[in-house]
C-alpha cells in the first residue's frame, strides 16, 4: 500500500512539474484532457496520472524500442499501433495519431469508464505496481441521522 501511495504522489508531483514547464513554453499547451466536468473521479484521475508516469515518465514522445513482446511501444501510455487503432475505433473517438498524448489519454479514460479491460494484459508492469483503476459507485450512499 505504501508503494502505491508513493507512486501516486510521485506521479501527481511530476505531472504538476511537466504541466508548469509546458505552460511556460506554450501558453496554449494542454497537458491532460481533464475538463471542468471531469469524466473520471478524483481517485481515477490520480490513478491515471500515476499510470502515465509509470508508462512514460509523463513524456508523450517516449518510445520503448523493445517492449515485453519484443516490439516497440509508443507515447504517453506506450500503445502499439494496432492496439491504439483498435481502441480508437471501439470507442469511436475523433482522429488522433499514435503519438498524440491527448488521444491516448482519451482512450485510457474510456477504458476506465467502460470497463471490461484486462489491465494486466494492456499495462502489465504498471498494473502490477499500481493495481487496477479505482471503481466508482454510481449511487451515492448517504448516512441518515434519526432525530428523536
Q: What is the pLDDT confidence band of residue 137, given thresholds at 50, 70 and 90?
A: low
Give the residue among 116, 96, 101, 97 at the shortest CA–CA distance from 22. 101
pLDDT at residue 27 in the model? 35
Quote the percentage of the chain above a pLDDT of 90.
Answer: 63
Residue 11 DSSP SS3: helix
Go through 103-112 and write b for each residue having 16 or more CB atoms within 10 A of its CB, e for each that does not. bbbbbbbbbb
Per residue in 99-109, pLDDT (tens digit) is: 999 999 999 99
Instruction: Break the chain into its structural domains and give their ranges.
Output: 2-130
Give the residue among 113, 101, 105, 126 at the shortest CA–CA distance from 34. 105
Per residue in 65-99, pLDDT (tens digit) is: 999 999 999 999 999 999 999 999 999 998 889 99
* Cβ within 8 Å of residue 79, ≥6 positions away: 73, 87, 98, 104, 107
pLDDT, greater one: 22 or 67? 67
pLDDT at residue 1 in the model? 63
Per residue in 1-11, pLDDT (tens digit) is: 666 666 556 65
Only one residue has cell 501511495, namely 5
Q: What is the pLDDT confidence band of residue 26, given thresholds at 50, 70 and 90?
A: very low
Following CA atoms 112, 95, 18, 126 in sequence, which dihedral angle do they give, to the nearest 10 degrees? 40
CB atoms within 10 A of CB 67: 14
Q: What is the CA radius of gyration of the chain?
A: 17
pLDDT at residue 64 in the model? 96
Average pLDDT over the chain, rounded to an integer: 80
pLDDT at residue 15 in the model? 57
Amino acid at each position: 500500500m505504501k508503494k502505491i501511495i508513493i507512486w501516486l504522489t510521485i506521479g501527481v508531483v511530476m505531472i504538476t512539474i511537466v504541466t508548469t514547464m509546458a505552460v511556460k513554453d506554450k501558453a496554449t499547451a494542454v497537458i491532460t484532457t481533464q475538463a471542468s466536468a471531469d469524466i473520471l473521479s478524483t481517485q481515477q484521475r490520480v490513478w491515471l496520472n500515476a499510470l502515465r508516469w509509470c508508462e512514460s515518465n509523463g513524456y508523450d514522445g517516449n518510445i520503448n524500442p523493445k517492449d515485453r513482446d519484443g516490439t516497440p511501444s509508443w507515447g504517453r501510455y506506450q500503445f502499439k499501433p494496432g492496439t491504439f487503432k483498435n481502441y480508437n475505433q471501439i470507442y469511436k473517438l475523433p482522429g488522433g495519431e499514435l503519438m498524440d498524448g491527448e488521444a491516448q489519454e482519451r482512450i485510457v479514460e474510456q477504458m476506465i469508464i467502460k470497463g471490461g479491460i484486462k489491465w494486466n494484459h494492456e499495462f502489465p508492469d504498471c498494473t502490477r505496481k499500481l493495481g487496477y483503476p479505482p471503481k466508482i459507485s454510481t449511487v451515492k450512499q448517504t448516512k441518515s441521522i434519526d432525530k428523536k
